[in-house]
Structure 1
Amino acid sequence: MFQLNTSKWLHATVLLFVFVAVNGSEWIIERVKLLEINQNYLKNTSLNLVSYSRRKRVINFYTESFVTFDNNVTVSNEYEEFMNNEYRPAFVGLRFKLCDFIEAPYVMIKQKFGIQCPIPPCSLSVSPHRGQKTFPKSETFLNGANASFLENQYLEWSKSKGSIDSSWDGLYESVNSSKLQIDEFQDDFSPKSNAKSKSSKVTDADSKHKIMLHLAVQNLIRSYQARGHLLAKTDPLGLTFAARWLLKAQSAPVDLKGVNCKLVARELGTILGDEHMDMTFELPHRTFIGGKEESLTLREIICRLEKVYCQSIGVEYMHLYDPDSLQFIRERMEVPGCLEKTVEEKRLIMRRLTKAVFLEKYFATKWPAEKRFGLEGGESMIVMLEEIVDSSTRLGVESIVMAMQHRGRLNMLVNVCRKQLTDIFAQFKPMEPKEPGSGDIKYHLGTYIHRFIRKTNRYIKVSMSCNPSHLEVVSPVVVGKTRAEQFFKGDNNGDKVMAIIMHGDAAFAGQGVVYETMHLGELPAFTTHGAIHIVCNNQIGYTTDPRFARSSPYCCDVAKCVNAPVLHVNGDDPEAVAHVARLAIEYRCHFKKDVVLDLTCYRRFGHSEEDEPMFTQPFMYKKIRSMKTIDQIYGERLKAEGVVNDADIKGWEKEYMDTLNKHFELAKKVTKLSIMDWIDTPWTGFFEARDPKKIEDTGISEATISTISKHFCKPPEPWAFEVHKGINRILLNREKMVKDGIADWAMGETLAYGSLLRDKIHIRFTGEDVERGTMAHRHHVYHHQGVDGATHRVLDTLYPDQAAYSLHNSSLSEFGILGFETGYSYSSPALLTIWEAQYGDFADTAQPVFDTFICNGESKWVCQSGLVVQLPHGIDGAGPEHSSARVERYLQQADDDEDLIPDLDEKDMALKQLRAANWIVCNVTSPANYFHLIRRQIALPFRKPVILMTPKVGLKHPFYRSPFKDFLPGTSFQRAIGDTGPASKNPKEVKKLIFCSGKVAITIDDLLKEKKLQNKIAVCRIEQLYPFPYDLVLKEFCKYDCAKVFYCQEEHKNQGPWLFVKVRLENLFGKKIGCISRPASSASATGIKWIHAKELTDLKNKIIEL
């Protein structure tokens, strides 16, 4: 609330703006300028000054141009500078100086009314309440907070003049002596009595009281809008109230039965009595409770506000910045009759509830001991989703991508996604699967369907994404899938494709990835133009009471951080549930922003069907066990209204039970489970069009190399775009490389991306610094040095008909962003999705995405992904963090039996290895090999994720160079690169064979050249660690059969690839091999330079030791 603090002249200013609102602004001074703020006085002075525009001309402080008087007098640009530089508090407060604006009119008021008080000291401030970005246009200067203050001051003054500052004496004495002719503006501010007054003139004291009463009523309306949700009856159990967090019990006015006296008393104090209840008050234009009526009695105002804001729906929306959003929600909540449903709608809701309730009962009857996480107690979720689906087709949505928790998932699959009951029932049987893979439990499975909606006569695609038990991991995945589908549909505004994400109350409040997902909503490269978030709020987290699970009043308060409205609804009122569902989809489609639905319900049983909830929630479950089911509650309500009868309900129940029994019998005939039946995103036609035994050529022509490399060296026209001088130096170096026919790391990756864009392959590449590259090597986006925000995107203009290159820096988030890109990669095989960590260990915070989606998504759900994860990796003295990407973790998750060596004579062994792998782990050491690896992702007849260790330092080292001939047709990715130096010419002289992977190859190469040991020590670089290149490493071993064999790594011995490689090499060679590495350590690297130097020296000595 706004606060009006006492000052010696403030009351005169109040009168000034009342006077202005009535008499217009003709007499306002013709010039208004801003002077320096009197900082000392500002500390003690604060005034709300916003527009009052009911029927008179206004002083409008909402507009960016500050204020306009009669459309011909404006404030100078000093205001904008003042706003931008002087005052930008945390909650975007609005503060400005009004010295000359106040002073002249103040003198006029003083002369007209004879008020004796000092000239203002030129110091005012204006501040909206916390969280408000600007003043809404509908706000009034005569705010209830000010009214309460003025009234209380007057009451205190009436009791004892010495009880308040003496500066108020002039005002209140003037009021009492009738010196102030308030009747001049009585039309705007005075309440109208139903009984006609005998006199057109009233005493000033009466007018003053009526003004204060009117203002209090205005504030009451706003209070219901802002805080009515605190007293709404949204809890079907009646056990909790959000109001207990914020409202204190106060004495209520007399004769206000049936209303929330706490709220009324809090806002109106003691001035409201029975005699005011039948007074008529003009309604402000920020409410729609009057419908076509402009005024209502106080009794009717309170009655209507109670019905709107304090029943089954609690609306949190006054924190929104956009005034249009506020009016949009008010109109759909406050217009009389808007909450009513037609007879047809009520009957449809009843039928949907019958299906939801009886499906859960059927599960419980047929499989009483089976864990399924039923929806009992929250069946109105089906009504909510069905209403959203129906309404979305009316609004033009063609596809909905959904994610949800395990609670009620089977019910959702059947009644919303229309999954065949036969397939659902078959999941309860122990059967052998048709396809290879681990599969997943039934309440993790997804599906998709093209549904026909009879109400709108349209089709809509509804997909439910597969998800793990790790709550909320699926949320960013679904947002990424939605964004990708929007891209491929050309849906740039989110009109056709929409995401719906369902959450549990404990997870929504407790999991950080919820915020990581929601904060993407307004980022241009990640927005899906609004998602609907539904919280299945059963008021408990496993066994944890909400009082011990969150610090906020509501489980969904995090949504306010992204300026999303929150609609709380009682799950036992299906009509209210349907209403907020329709409001949510209309809001999302109109404003293209997130909206949150808090479905407050309960769990009729424990966390699962096997759980006993009375152990930990005895009071709650005593209440629950006395509750009727939702179909009984709503059925009785409709029968009382005459909408349905017993015959209708019994008929619907029998009809659905017959359907359930029919599919139960059909499920008995199913003998094998099919994982393929649960694909949530099919790639129609992709696999059929590919030769499963062939990898397409990854080389490119000389002409393509020339086109891309020259374009990469060409700066934008200097007259049109000013690049940094350092960029010009980089471009000159690149130009020299092109002339020499050499590619460095940046050129190698650019050739890969550019050639794929030419082939119409869409590339999406994101990460925290990918536009420039963390190591400042890429520079695919130039920034104008003279124009803020102007950029030149190098590869966007490579070919006139190329595919889109979506290269974007991301927010500082790994969990949310990696989940997003994982979902994006699931959408289509005709794209390359890349996520690059700023440093390799940044992926640590996204580990759930690796563990539950990337690593095993195909095995569990037949969901293939071609995602490339690039992790800068290397032990180079940077300290324990930002050194190791923990390659050992990804190798440990490889689904490969170390004791099984494949048939090395098989022609397609390498391809079969790739097909069987769950992902590919590489650490490449040449630009050409990187190029072929990236292009192989598209050339494969299937899709696999790639975990790629990339270099952090040495990107300019001669070792990281490849001649253009290594990119030509006929060349390909090398899983291992054998020694091509002096050792390979005379293998019998070689004393030592070293296998290695990654940057340590540079250390070995430089050292052997320095010590002239190139003919004594042979080196083989293993570029693809998994699937392991058995055939190539065996070839090198046989070539140097007299040499001692070692594996060398720069990582510590208990880290890196050593433990993965060791057992495979020893099984393959039939002999022990040695290890050259840093000693075992709990940290990935040292942060002490001396230790780093010593470790490096020791490592080098072991390398050259013969």
Structure 2
Amino acid sequence: MTSQNPAERLNRASNAIFEETAFLFGANAEFVESLYAQYLEDPASVDPSWARYFAGLEGPRGPSTPSWASRAKTAGAPIAAPVSGAEDVRAAAQASIRAIQLVRAYRVIGHFEADLDPLGLAPKTPHPQLDPKFYGFKDADLDKPVFIDGVLGLQSATPREMVDLLKRTYCGRIGYEFMHINDAEEKDWLQRRIEGPDKEITFTPAGKRAILNKLIEAEGFEKFCALRFLGTKRFGLDGGEAMIPALEQIIKRGGQLGVSKIVIGMAHRGRLNVLANVLSKSYRQIFHEFRGGSANPEGIDEVTGDVKYHLGASSDRSFDGNDVHLTLTPNPSHLEAADPVVLGKARAKQFQLGDTEARTSVLPMLLHGDAAFAGQGIVAECFAMSGTRGYRTGGTIHFVINNQIGFTTSPQYSRSSAYCTDIALMVQAPIFHVNGDDPEAVVHAARIATEFRQLFHKDVVIDMYCYRRFGHNETDEPAFTQPLMYRAIKDHPTTLEIYAKKLVAESSMAASDVEHMVGDFNARLDSEFEASKAHKPERADWLQSNWTGFEVAPKSYHRADTGVDKDALLQVGKALSTVPEGFNAHKTVARQLQNKARMFETGEGIDWATAEALAFGTLLKEGFPVRLSGQDSGRGTFSQRHSVLVDQETEARYIPLANVAKDQAPFEVIDSLLSEAAVLGFEYGYATSEPKALVLWEAQFGDFANNAQVIIDQFIASGEMKWLRMCGLVMLLPHGYEGQGPEHSSARLERYLQLCAQDNWQVCNPTTPANYFHVLRRQMLRNFRKPLVLMTPKSLLRHKRCVSFLDDLSPGTSFHRVFRDQAECVPGATTVQLAPDEDIRRVILCSGKVYFDLVDAREKHNQQQVQMLRLEQLYPFPEGPLGEVLERFPNAEIVWVQEEPRNQGAWTFVRQRIEYLMEKLGRRVRPRYIGRPEYAATAAGLMSQHTAELHYIMDEAMRFDLKIRTEDDQ
């Protein structure tokens, strides 16, 4: 996205010569020269576009007096000699074209000759295209002025001067890579920002001292930890210390350019250093954690915590009167998994600030390792979403700590590209490669990157070449696998030593001043170390800011008051069934809208999609934003939702839920990119930052969540226990066995149940539209947040019995964790008169769609001694309400029926819980299993096999002995 405000653009004027000659390469020079000679003889003999170009070179006076002869020179630049005659004009034009080709070559490939590696391990190979002779300049031409019309900030320059300036710009300690960008304005801005005689990297004495101070803190912290906590893993920053002053520059320059919040994500390396020296986490707290102390104060129970180099933090920093709030997101060991979480958090914070256009107020910043940046697919997914409507955040600054190694794997074995950052080429992000031993260059690159992001609202990458002084971690021996690299590192001075020596040599600092600064900082660390011995954390970093007013979930929580007044339901219903006048809805959609209108007129037949829309609409009316994303979520995978209507003549879009009431909260429904991991991570991040919004992610089919298992395991299921991060994210996972084969049947219910512990989330499998309505509203109407995993239906979306009444949504109604048998009130059912409770011989417990198959089977067999109970919520396990119902049937055996294979579904989860419950009721009865046998896959691939299995399960469920099975019979 480019800026919509032209007044904010810097140096907008295009470079005409460059833009019009971007096509020129060495092989084309002879053709262009001959074409120009033809033009001089007869301008009408060449194509009009070439004639315009050559005329631009000559100016208004004609070929005998070309325009460059009379233009004002740039200060300090030589003036090209006046020319006359066709041959002179041709020679001058030829020199200009060759010069432009030379400049372009440096812009395109100059970074390959940049001085990037502090260790100098690989010899640089000269590129002939960077030699003026490649373009036909001879030794005698190197000191002759050539007209270049403002390129490099000069009107004219000799080839030798151009090469000196180009080498300084493109082949120094920063290698700029940006010519892959298609946007001419972005390229022009970058060129003007870095090219020219006055564009050297310069810092004031105060700026140099600030850089030195941050290097002292960065190196001093690592050395102190290595001395005091010998042999303890910390994933130190040693070798990459220049990142710390660079991050300071991003905060400072960002604050000047309107950034008020920065959301940071990073993996292990240097994390403790960033916490201490960027986010200002107290040294005593970090040392306390090194000693094995908790990150949280006493009184926070049942929190498992995490290792110290996974923890996050937040703080406020102020530079030049600009306050910037920093948040470092907790991360797991899966290196790049936190990337989309950071992006989601940033998007939520932008929403809270009302910055939904330029998105300059909140900056996401991701710190990567080189091997993970190149190797982890979720990085590409994040780049892919960076410019999309539902996920853009105004650009991310990516800072790559380029260790030039991944654990023990050298780059030639871990990627197929020249740079670890080549993945960023997919979105045309500019990339600044920089030598980590030149902190001024690193800080300079960080400043330009921040300016670019704020101006153009796009991703930008800083690739800092450095090294790991002590291997993957401090207990590792890296010389096992990289002996030459670590021989060089052993003798290599630190970045602080190099920079301090430079400042002393140029008289910017006295050696004694440097020693004094180092001594003062070490004394501070000694004091903090002593204080850490008695330190106790005073506050937990949670339930603050936007989470103020929320509470820890009570030990026993049940329902919320989720019913809605009928008038409010009808208001939403009218919005759902009405389109603007003149809107050309698809005829099938129009029929659906008519059916919805009849639902609200009669109060009957509320189907799944309508109940969902009613839940969304009523929450929107009550001030809760709703955000739903997933693949094809607008229409719905099964054409059930149609939350976005498309005019069949104009393709104009109309969203009924955005038009419920004038003062309603915002509604977003987003057709996501074909990603599960990054999109689910994004929504998790959004939900952790915006607790007052209902945030939902929908899998196209339930098993698609397999691709996001890292996000589920390491964030959603465990984030509260590890990091005190509450989250109300809803996962909608289509689930149900209808003969569609292994990949379109199961949402892997068993995986979510296996992760259930410590009241970490809710797993529900609702079977009525009303219960779905209530469970969605329950998410928002309690004063705590828990993730909600929902098995959602496919065939039940249009099942004649899977409908509800409007009265089921009215005040006084709520979510049912256990549904009692509804033999006499299931819509469309043939009445089965059940036997009295004491005569019931079998109680079937089940969950999900299989209930409706069992209803059909019971009617088919006219089985009056079978009672069926549905577990609508599997976790937290509804022991209380289930026990109350089971007490009614003292003579019945307990059977669990499921459509999933025996080793899948809920069976292994509920079995012990049912046994425990029956023991509490004074009965030694074990539940019996009826269902498919164990499978390696999730379902049969043949419809005939699926049907045969289903018939077997139903027949077995309705055919039983009168003898009650006891524990001794098992």
Q: CA deviation at 1:51?
A: 5.4
Matched-pair contact (CA < 8 Å) for 2:551–2:783: no
Paired residue total: 913
Match of 2:368 in 1: 503
Alignment equivalent of 1:282, drawn from 147, 151, 176: 147
Alignment equivalent of 1:1030, drawn from 853, 865, 879: 879
Q: For 1:514-529, list aligned pairs within 5 A.
A: 514-529=379-394
Alignment equivalent of 2:172, drawn from 307, 311, 322: 311
Change (3 A) 1:734 1:23: same
Alignment equivalent of 1:1041, drawn from 883, 887, 890: 890
Distance 2:596 2:209 in 1: 71
Q: 2:611 is paired with a residue of what secondary structure?
A: helix
Task: Give the structure with higher Rg (CA).
Answer: 1
Q: 1:633 is paired with a residue of what secondary structure?
A: helix
Q: CA deviation at 1:430?
A: 2.3
Q: Could you tell me the TM-score, scaled by structure 1's length?
A: 0.79
Are residue 1068 (structure 1) and residue 917 (structure 2) matched?
Answer: yes
Match of 1:819 in 2: 681
Distance 2:754 2:33 in 1: 73
Are residue 232 (structure 1) and residue 114 (structure 2) matched?
Answer: yes
Q: 2:742 is paired with a residue of what secondary structure?
A: coil
Match of 1:996 in 2: 846
Matched-pair contact (CA < 8 Å) for 1:699–1:968: yes
Counterpart of 1:488 in structure 2: which amino acid? Q
Distance 1:5 1:584 in 2: 32
Q: For 1:962-973, list aligned pairs within 5 A.
A: 962-973=804-815
Are residue 919 (structure 1) and residue 780 (structure 2) matched?
Answer: no
Matched-pair contact (CA < 8 Å) for 1:356–1:382: yes
Distance 1:445 1:715 in 2: 49
Q: CA deviation at 1:563?
A: 0.9
Matched-pair contact (CA < 8 Å) for 1:867–1:944: yes
Are residue 417 (structure 1) and residue 279 (structure 2) matched?
Answer: yes
Matched-pair contact (CA < 8 Å) for 1:448–1:462: yes
Are residue 783 (structure 1) and residue 646 (structure 2) matched?
Answer: yes
Match of 2:569 in 1: 705
Q: 1:587 is paired with a residue of what secondary structure?
A: helix
Are residue 1006 (structure 1) and residue 856 (structure 2) matched?
Answer: yes
Change (3 A) 1:13 1:463: closer
Q: CA deviation at 1:989?
A: 2.5
Match of 1:128 in 2: none
Unaligned runs of 5+ in 1: 33-46, 59-180, 245-259, 896-915
Are residue 660 (structure 1) and residue 518 (structure 2) matched?
Answer: no
Q: CA deviation at 1:747?
A: 1.4
Matched-pair contact (CA < 8 Å) for 2:128–2:134: no
CA deviations on 1:348-406 (whole Å, 9 max, x unpaired) are: 11111111111111111110111000000000000110010010111011000000111
Change (3 A) 1:414 1:777: same
Match of 2:501 in 1: 636
Counterpart of 1:300 in structure 2: which amino acid? E
Higher relative contact order (CA 8 A, sep 6+): 2
Change (3 A) 1:1000 1:234: same
Distance 2:899 2:175 in 1: 60
Change (3 A) 1:194 1:960: closer
Q: CA deviation at 1:592?
A: 0.5
Q: Which moved more, 1:815-824 or 1:231-240?
A: 231-240
Matched-pair contact (CA < 8 Å) for 2:59–2:67: no
Change (3 A) 1:962 1:56: farther
Are residue 272 (structure 1) and residue 137 (structure 2) matched?
Answer: yes
Change (3 A) 1:200 1:380: closer
Change (3 A) 1:333 1:1046: same
Are residue 745 (structure 1) and residue 611 (structure 2) matched?
Answer: no
Distance 2:810 2:838 in 1: 33
Q: CA deviation at 1:182?
A: 8.0
Match of 2:482 in 1: 617
Q: CA deviation at 1:684?
A: 4.5
Q: CA deviation at 1:667?
A: 0.7
- Sequence identity percentage: 38
Q: CA deviation at 1:1039?
A: 1.3
Change (3 A) 1:283 1:1095: same
Q: CA deviation at 1:20?
A: 5.8
Matched-pair contact (CA < 8 Å) for 2:63–2:86: no
Distance 2:370 2:80 in 1: 55
Match of 2:216 in 1: 354
Counterpart of 1:601 in structure 2: which amino acid? C
Change (3 A) 1:261 1:1087: closer
Are residue 302 (structure 1) and residue 152 (structure 2) matched?
Answer: no
Matched-pair contact (CA < 8 Å) for 2:26–2:134: no
Q: CA deviation at 1:744?
A: 1.1
Distance 2:53 2:543 in 1: 52
Are residue 393 (structure 1) and residue 262 (structure 2) matched?
Answer: no
Counterpart of 2:276 in structure 1: which amino acid? V
Match of 1:1095 in 2: 949
Alignment equivalent of 1:931, drawn from 768, 773, 778: 773
Change (3 A) 1:388 1:978: same
Q: 1:881 is paired with a residue of what secondary structure?
A: helix
Q: 1:269 is paired with a residue of what secondary structure?
A: helix
Change (3 A) 1:738 1:678: closer
Alignment equivalent of 1:887, drawn from 728, 733, 749: 749
Q: 2:887 is paired with a residue of what secondary structure?
A: helix
Counterpart of 1:697 in structure 2: which amino acid? D
Q: RMSD in angstroms over aligned alpha carbons?
A: 2.9
Q: CA deviation at 1:203?
A: 8.7
Distance 1:1049 1:846 in 2: 26
Q: CA deviation at 1:706?
A: 1.4
Q: CA deviation at 1:847?
A: 0.3
Change (3 A) 1:663 1:4: closer
Change (3 A) 1:439 1:23: farther
Match of 2:726 in 1: 864
Change (3 A) 1:327 1:203: closer
Alignment equivalent of 1:494, drawn from 359, 364, 370: 359
Distance 2:229 2:550 in 1: 38
Match of 1:441 in 2: 307
Q: CA deviation at 1:444?
A: 0.6
CA deviations on 1:538-583 (whole Å, 9 max, x unpaired) are: 1000000001000000000000101100000000001111110000
Change (3 A) 1:321 1:189: farther
Matched-pair contact (CA < 8 Å) for 1:687–1:942: yes
Match of 1:452 in 2: 318
Counterpart of 2:438 in structure 1: which amino acid? D
Distance 1:50 1:1065 in 2: 86
Match of 2:187 in 1: 326
Distance 2:578 2:287 in 1: 63
Q: CA deviation at 1:185?
A: 6.1
Are residue 578 (structure 1) and residue 437 (structure 2) matched?
Answer: no
Q: CA deviation at 1:649?
A: 0.5
Q: 1:427 is paired with a residue of what secondary structure?
A: helix
Counterpart of 1:1007 in structure 2: which amino acid? A
Q: 1:653 is paired with a residue of what secondary structure?
A: helix
Distance 2:68 2:488 in 1: 54
Alignment equivalent of 2:786, drawn from 938, 944, 959: 944
Match of 1:987 in 2: 837
Match of 1:758 in 2: 621
Match of 1:252 in 2: none
Counterpart of 1:1090 in structure 2: which amino acid? S
Match of 2:817 in 1: 975
Change (3 A) 1:508 1:1022: same
Distance 1:318 1:642 in 2: 38
Q: Could you tell me the TM-score, scaled by structure 2's length?
A: 0.90
Distance 1:346 1:5 in 2: 42
Match of 2:492 in 1: 627
Distance 1:1054 1:681 in 2: 42
Change (3 A) 1:827 1:57: farther
Matched-pair contact (CA < 8 Å) for 2:59–2:66: no
Q: Which moved more, 1:690-699 or 1:928-937?
A: 690-699
Matched-pair contact (CA < 8 Å) for 2:37–2:90: no
Distance 2:79 2:892 in 1: 112
Matched-pair contact (CA < 8 Å) for 1:21–1:52: no
Counterpart of 2:807 in structure 1: which amino acid? K
Match of 2:737 in 1: 875
Change (3 A) 1:1068 1:761: same
Q: Which moved more, 1:1027-1036 or 1:638-647?
A: 1027-1036
Match of 2:6 in 1: none
Change (3 A) 1:381 1:470: same
Matched-pair contact (CA < 8 Å) for 2:80–2:156: no
